[in-house]
A and B are shown apart, each in its own frame.
Chain A
Amino acid sequence: MKQAAPRLIELVEECKSLAFDLNFSYAKEWKKQSPDRLLVGYLPIYVPRQIMHAANALPVGIMGVGDRKQIIKGDAYYQSYICHLPRGIIEMALDHNLDDFDGFLFPSICDCVRNLSGMFKLVHKGKFTRYFDYPQNFDEHIGGTFYRELLETIINDMHLLNGVNISIEALNRSISLYNKNRKLVETIYNIRQDYPWRLSATDVYHIIRAGMVINVEKHNEILEEVIRYIEEDYGEPMDNIRVIISGSFCEQPPIGLIKSIEMAGCYIIDDDFMLGSRWIQDDINGTTEDPLNELVISFLTKSTASSAIYDVGNPRSARLVQLVKRRNADGVIFCAASFCDPALLDRPELQKACDAEGIAHINFQFHENTGQFKVIKEQAGTFSDSIKLWV
């Protein structure tokens, strides 16, 4: 049996250390190269990274501390019944991990992230702090106008710091680079749909997560290289079922949990981890005279299904069922962070839709620092066995 190329293993290792570097050393080093470079941190899920890239800023995803940092101060800022993600982030802020960042964006996904934006203001972190209040009205004339104004506000925040005026060419170039990035990510998922044994779900996770903290040019190179390797045939298929993970869009599950699901006999062939990097579901036109408008339109019309977006008229349950069919999955694992209102309030409806279509599903809750996976592994194993019995 042919083995994975050593260079691929090396690339995955590189991504792994980038993805979980809570000091953001790569980004800080990048910033040092030129005085007009900025670091803009953003929380899950989505911000249009193109505007930062075009403004000579590096968008840096702050995806939580996972199980990599002991929380001491953060717990004094949050009651026990609030999810884990914000306590890790405030801990990082208080421990000076984020000191070189110029600004922070807090996407409008829930009240925890919303209030965290105010906490950053109260503890004076960042030269600008914005709650990224994207519209829930998707009419171009109504929500579109508001969204454009929001993007212009952030562009202005950055301009005040580095004096960069974004040109049409620069923004079009950024749009094209991120188009390529999403396409490459999708290619990896597409290859894994047919050959999930060539790259484990944890490897994919590390590769995609690394892209949140480095520049898109470098990430594209990594992705291209990875794709070259996984296009080749190697490894051996196992008798695993094929599942989609749903619900982990914000607080990220610990790597141990992803591994446990795989080890229990489930190939994870699609997921909503790192949803922000796959948010826009198609190319954005990067050749027009008004690229900002293209970003606006793409948000209004091409956003992925997410618990953070009003879905009446385009229900996420139907979109999940579609995804299951498109990926030819055997079942869905609902896997949401504890105390996550947006994900957990969606769950019954999504489960109902799966039931109606005869799609098998199970359900876990986790904290980003969950350390015990025995029960989860057993449940996923039973799930896998029960599906194998019927298909």
Chain B
Amino acid sequence: MSNPKEAIKENSMIIQKEMLGNLFTELSTAKENGKKVVYTFVPGNLTELILALDMLPVYPEINALQSGMRKKSGSYIKDAEKMGFSEDVCTYVKCDIGMMLSGNIGPTGEKLPDPDLLLLSYTGCFTFLKWFENLERLYPGVEIAMLHTPYQEDGTITQDQVNYMVKQLKEDVIPKMEKVAGKKLDYDRLSKMLENSAKAEDLWVKVLQTAKNRPSPIDSYFAGVYYMGPLFTAFRGSEKAVEYYQELYNEVTERLKQGLLPVTPEGEMKEERFRLVVEGPPNWTNFREFWKIFYDMGAVIVASTYTKVGGVYDQGFRHEPDKPLESLAKYCMGCYTNLNLPQRVDLLEYYIKEYKADGFLINSIKSCNSFSAGQLLMMREIEQRCGVPVGFIESDLVDPRYFSYANIKNRLESYFQMLGQRKVIMAQEEAQV
């Protein structure tokens, strides 16, 4: 392994760090500066609308995952449970509410400002609705705007669904946002942002597709969650996001030219033994340990569904500046967890074949019915259709009680062993032919 310091020198990382730093500085002074703060969700977010109205977004899911990474989630969850939330429910909600009860201290150690608006667009998950209903009561008097995103139940987006969403945006959501922002939405500005979104999305797809190469220069899951940050959260639509993805793409293509493998917290990987497709979110409380199990075994994630929760751009969707509201509607409906199960299986099959994966792994998350309910059937379907070895592990997002390192490591080691044996057999068969 090379010196870990090399890994953090990458320019794209510096840019992202700077972007986040500036956002949190702005947030910490938002009230003094009269900036309005919008709490909203990642999947199907309306970031361009928020930015075009000069408001600042906060993503409670991101706060929760960062609390997980900073080892604070366990106590936040317990605080929410003391308040009456069941042990059984989604831990993102409990972590967020626990954090709020403990003073709402954000990742930089400063207090996050209270919301002026709760923007509830609950793409692909019913729990989002319950989450913000709870927040609405915990912040009495806060404005709340709700955008109901219909599910792609029949595997398509219908015109009726688009019309329904556009009407909600025009007649309910945007007027409420304008009221809080104290200004009218400038549609030209919105279109300009959507143009930037599309540029960043083009670059993001190119980055993802470099993993089709053997060896892959990126890990599309563990590193993917960092790469997706600007596009999936507060920066989509900004020029800075385009700059970030341009830089990232340059770096990745350079790595590709040099035949380099993915960057990990311990430097570059030296060998690509297994190429995997992963379904489901990662665990955050033990993220580094979890990742290490993979790179120690030479396993690279070449495609993942988690990096599609904020948009399945590699299947063609782009924000369209000349149809702003329709494209926001289609964006919301197109996010991964808003696809029906047959669509999800088709997408996974495509990834496994297109990215020439050796195996398929599910990290099933206790908290998340949206992802998890139905995964065992999806796994069978994939096994039948693709004939690759499938693996199944269980953990949680931010509840440390549900991450058993020994158990997961054992399971993964057996799985990698199986993949290794299969490779040997396949090589022997090929040699015979």
**Which residues on A are within 8 Å of B, measured CB to CB?**
76-79, 81-82, 86, 108-112, 114-119, 121-123, 130-131, 133, 135-137, 139, 141-143, 145-146, 149, 307, 310-312, 315, 336, 338-342, 344-349, 351-352, 365
Contacts and interface: CB of A to CB of B under 8 A. Distances in A.
A341 B369 contact: yes
B372 A82 contact: yes
Given A122-B341, A122-B345, A149-B160, A110 B126 contact: yes
B133 interface: yes
Interface string B112-142: 0000000000000111011101101100000
B425 interface: no
B126 A348 contact: no
A169 B160 CA distance: 27
A345 B85 contact: yes
Nearest to B371: A111
B233 interface: no
Nearest to A349: B137
Given A111-B370, A112-B369, A342-B126, A117 B133 contact: no
A133 B93 contact: no
B186 to A, nearest CB: 24
A363 to B, nearest CB: 8
Contacts of B342: 118, 121-122
Interface string B124-164: 01110111011011000000101010110110000011011
A351 B373 contact: no
A319 to B, nearest CB: 14
A130 B153 CA distance: 7
Interface of B: 83-86, 88-90, 93, 125-127, 129-131, 133-134, 136-137, 144, 146, 148, 150-151, 153-154, 160-161, 163-164, 167-168, 171-172, 340-342, 344-345, 364, 366, 369-370, 372-377, 381, 394
Contacts of B130: 307, 341-342, 345-346
A202 B144 CA distance: 41
A78 B373 contact: yes
Nearest to B124: A111
B116 to A, nearest CB: 16
A341 B341 contact: no
A363 B139 CA distance: 26
A336 B89 CA distance: 12
Contact of B85 (A86, A110, A344): A344
16 contacts: A79-B366, A110-B369, A111-B369, A117-B341, A121-B340, A122-B377, A136-B146, A137-B172, A142-B171, A146-B161, A146-B163, A312-B133, A339-B88, A342-B126, A344-B85, A347-B85
Contacts of A136: 129, 146, 148
B148 A131 contact: no
Contact of A135 (B134, B148, B344, B377): B148
Given A344-B86, A345-B133, 6 more contacts: A114-B151, A135-B164, A141-B167, A341-B126, A344-B89, A349-B133
B373 A133 contact: no
Given A122-B377, A131-B153, A365-B88, A139 B171 contact: yes
B377 A123 contact: yes
Nearest to B136: A312
Contact of B134 (A118, A145, A146, A345): A345
A339 B127 CA distance: 12
Contacts of A149: 160
Contacts of B86: 336, 344, 347, 365
Nearest to A348: B84
B376 A77 contact: yes
Contacts of A352: 84
Contacts of A139: 171-172
A108 B164 CA distance: 16
Give the top 5 A-B pairs by smallest Cβ distance, nearest first: A118-B341, A131-B153, A348-B84, A345-B130, A115-B374
B359 to A, nearest CB: 20
Nearest to B129: A310
Nearest to A90: B377
A316 B134 CA distance: 12
A366 to B, nearest CB: 12
Nearest to A135: B148
B172 A81 contact: no
B151 A79 contact: no
B422 to A, nearest CB: 23
A347 B69 CA distance: 28
Nearest to B130: A345
Contacts of A307: 130
B373 A341 contact: no
B340 to A, nearest CB: 4
B88 A78 contact: no
Nearest to A342: B130
Contacts of B127: 111, 341, 345
Contacts of B167: 141-142, 145
B88 A81 contact: yes
Contacts of A365: 86, 88
Nearest to B81: A348
Contacts of A336: 86
A119 B372 contact: no
B341 A344 contact: no
A382 B370 CA distance: 38
B148 A137 contact: yes
A339 B370 CA distance: 13
A117 B153 contact: yes
A84 B137 CA distance: 30
B78 to A, nearest CB: 14
B375 to A, nearest CB: 8
A77 B377 CA distance: 6
A348 B160 contact: no
A306 to B, nearest CB: 12
Nearest to B367: A81
Which of A117, A342, A345 has most chain B Cβ within 10 Å? A345
A81 B377 CA distance: 16
A29 B144 CA distance: 50
A348 B82 CA distance: 10
A340 B167 CA distance: 32
Nearest to B83: A348
A345 B138 CA distance: 13
Contact of A133 (B88, B134, B150, B364): B150
Which of B150, B153, B168, B345 has most chain A Cβ within 10 Å? B153
Contacts of B134: 345, 348-349
Contacts of B373: 78, 82, 86, 111-112, 114-116
Contacts of A112: 369, 373
Nearest to A130: B153
A348 B137 CA distance: 11
Contacts of B163: 145-146
Nearest to B340: A118
Contacts of B341: 115, 117-119, 121-122
A183 B164 CA distance: 33
B168 A137 contact: yes
A119 B377 contact: yes
